[in-house]
Amino acid sequence: MGAIDFVVLSSREGLLGRLRESCPARRFVTPSEVTESLHAGIVDSSWDGEAMTGLTFASRIVLCDTLPFPEQRHPGDFRVLASEFETRVDELLSWCEEFALNQHRLRELEQEVDLSRQVQALMTEVELSGVAERIAGTILDLLSLPNGTLLLYDSAREKFVNVYSNDPSYKDSDEYLPGVPHAMLDGPQAFAVSKGERGKPRLVALPARMGEDLIGVFRGVIPPGELFDEKKAELAALFLQATTAVLSNFNRLTRSAELAMCDDLTKAFNRRFFDSYLDQEIERSRRYGSGFSIIFLDLDDLKEVNNRYGHLTGSRTLQEVAKRVLGAVRAIDKVVRFGGDEFCIILPQTDHRKAEGVADRVRRAICDAPFDLGPGISVEITASFGIATYPQHASAKEDLIRVADSAMYAVKSTTKNAIKVAGS
C-alpha cells in the first residue's frame, strides 16, 4: 500500500491550504475528496467523526487547544497542541502514516491467517463438488459479489467445465472456456475485469495456475452500477492460488475414482456410485440448507429395437443414448445407468423447475434425430422422464428414488416421450 489520504476536518482557517503547500508530496483532502480505502485524519479535538461523515480512520492527529488533553482517546490517536502542530508537521504525519499502514497490514495478515484456515478446512471435504463450493463461496464473500462460477480443466473433455455455479445467467457450452473471453486471461495478472456496457453486468475472472498451466478459472458477475474493489480482488486471487494444488489433486482423484465407478457399456456412472453419491448429496444439502433434484428416465420401446435388429444393436443404442445425455447436462451433474435401459441424472443445487428444463433438453437430444448405427440401421427412440427434488418431494433417499421412479412410470404408462414432476 502506498501513500494514504489525510482527511482534514478542522475549523482552523486556512489549515488545509497550508498543509498542501508545505507538504506537496502528501495528499490532503476533504471528506468528499476521499478516494483511497485507507485514511488518516487530522481533526479538532471536538470532532466526533463517524457520526458526521461515516469515515473511520486507522490513525488520527488530534489538534487540542489547551492542556491537559481530553481524557477520551481513540486507538491510533496522536494528540498535539494545535499551536505546535505545524512546527512538527512532517514528524507527526510520518508517525500517523506509519501507524495507519501497520494497522492495515495487520488486518491483511489477519485475513490471510483466516484464509489459511479455510484452505486447511478444505481437506475435510471428500468430494470435488464440496471443495469447489467452499472455494467459490469464499471468493464470492471476499469480492462481495452474489453470483459466480468455478471452472476446472477436464482432460477427458479437453475443455473447462463447470464444477460449481450459483449464477442463473451462466450457460454451459461446447466452448473451450465457456463464458469467459480469452482476452481476459492473456496476461500474467492475478485478475481481470471486463469493461461492460452501461446498465449491464461486468465480469471478473481470476485464473488458477499451476506453474505456467491454467487449470481453473473463477468467473464472477459484477452487478450493474456496482463499484469493484481491486484490493479485495487481490486477496481473492491470493486465496484461489493457495487452493490451486488442492483443486488439482481433488480433480485428479475424482476423475480416477469416477473411472472405477463407471458402467462398462455406456461410460455413465454405475449403481454403486449412485448409492454413495446420493447419500453425500443429501448430507451436503442438509449441511448447507440447499436442495438438489434427480431425474429418472427410461427408454421407450427399446425391446422393439432388440427384437428387430438384435441385442448388439440394442447395446449400441444404449451407448449412443448415454453420449447424448452426457452431452446435454452440466459437468457437475452425474449421469448414472440405473439398470437395463433406465438412467438417473443427479442435479446438484437444482430445483424442480430447472430440472424440468434439463429433462426437456435431454429428451430433445434423444428424440430429435435418429441413431444411425450401421448400414440400413436407423433407430428412432424416445424416453419417459420423472423428476423429484430434495427435500421438497422427499427427505429420505429411498423415498426420493421411489417418487421419481413413480413419476417416470406414470409417463411411460400413458403418453411416453414426456416429463412429469413428482406430486404434479
Render pLDDT for 130-143 as a digit per residue (tens, 0 to 9).
888 889 999 999 89
**So what's the pLDDT on residue 125?**
64
- Percent helix, percent strand, percent coil in the chain, to nearest 5: 45, 25, 35
Across 40-59, average pLDDT: 72
How far is the C-alpha of 95 from the C-alpha of 150, rounded, in Å? 44
**So what's the pLDDT on residue 292?**
96
Task: With cut-offs at 50, 70 and 90, classify the pLDDT of residue 51.
Answer: very low
Inform me whether the pLDDT recorded for 38 exceeds 80: no
Give residue-wise pLDDT tens across range 278-294: 999 999 899 888 899 99
The pLDDT > 90 percentage for the chain reads 38
**So what's the pLDDT on residue 361?**
96
How far is the C-alpha of 43 from the C-alpha of 40, rounded, in Å? 10
Give residue-wise pLDDT tens across range 296-354: 999 998 999 988 888 878 888 999 999 999 999 988 899 999 988 999 999 999 999 99
Range with lowest mean pLDDT among 28-32, 63-67, 84-88, 125-129:
125-129
Cis peptide before 391 (omega within 30 of 0): yes
**So what's the pLDDT on residue 393?**
96
**So what's the pLDDT on residue 337?**
94
Across 24-47, average pLDDT: 81
Buried b (16+ CB within 10 A) or exposed e, 29-43: bebeeeeeebbbbbb
Calculate the alpha carbon distances from 367 to 165, 292, 323, 329 in Å. Answer: 29, 26, 13, 16
**So what's the pLDDT on residue 111?**
67
Closest residue by Cα to residue 383 from 354, 416, 361: 416
Task: Tell me whether domains 125-255 and 271-421 share a fold.
Answer: no
Give residue-wise pLDDT tens across range 390-410: 999 999 999 999 999 999 999
419-421, strands of its sheet edge to edge: 334-339, 342-348, 292-300, 382-390, 419-421
Strand 27-29 relative to strand 5-9, pairing: parallel
- 5 with 60: CB under 8 angstroms? no
Inform me whether the pLDDT recorded for 377 exceeds 60: yes
Q: Which residue, chain included where needed, has cell 421419481?
A: 404
- DSSP for 303-322, written as a single string: HHHHHHH-HHHHHHHHHHHH
* Whether pTM exceeds 0.75: no
Which CATH number applies to 271-421: 2.40.110.10, 3.40.190.10, 3.30.70.270, 3.30.70.420? 3.30.70.270
Task: With cut-offs at 50, 70 and 90, classify the pLDDT of residue 193.
Answer: very high
**So what's the pLDDT on residue 258?**
65
Closest residue by Cα to residue 278 from 325, 326, 346, 338: 346
Range with lowest mean pLDDT among 117-121, 266-270, 357-361:
117-121
How far is the C-alpha of 132 from the C-alpha of 250, rounded, in Å? 10
Inform me whether the pLDDT recorded for 376 exceeds 90: no
Grid cell in block for residue 151: 471452472
E strands present in 349-402? 371-374, 377-379, 382-390
Inform me whether the pLDDT recorded for 295 exceeds 80: yes
Closest residue by Cα to residue 7 from 80, 85, 86, 61: 61
Inform me whether the pLDDT recorded for 197 exceeds 80: no
Task: With cut-offs at 50, 70 and 90, classify the pLDDT of residue 1.
Answer: very low
- In the chain, where are the structural domains located? 5-110, 125-255, 271-421
CB atoms within 10 A of CB 264: 7
CATH topology of domain 125-255: Beta-Lactamase (3.30.450)
Element (H, E) at 159: strand 159-165
**So what's the pLDDT on residue 174?**
77
Inform me whether the pLDDT recorded for 25 exceeds 50: yes
Task: With cut-offs at 50, 70 and 90, classify the pLDDT of residue 31.
Answer: confident
Grid cell in block for residue 117: 484456515
**So what's the pLDDT on residue 126?**
58
**So what's the pLDDT on residue 122?**
66
- 215 with 153: CB under 8 angstroms? yes
**So what's the pLDDT on residue 400?**
97
Grid cell in block for residue 59: 490513525
Inform me whether the pLDDT recorded for 147 exceeds 90: yes
Average model confidence (pLDDT) across the chain: 86
Inform me whether the pLDDT recorded for 61 exceeds 70: yes
Inform me whether the pLDDT recorded for 70 exceeds 50: yes
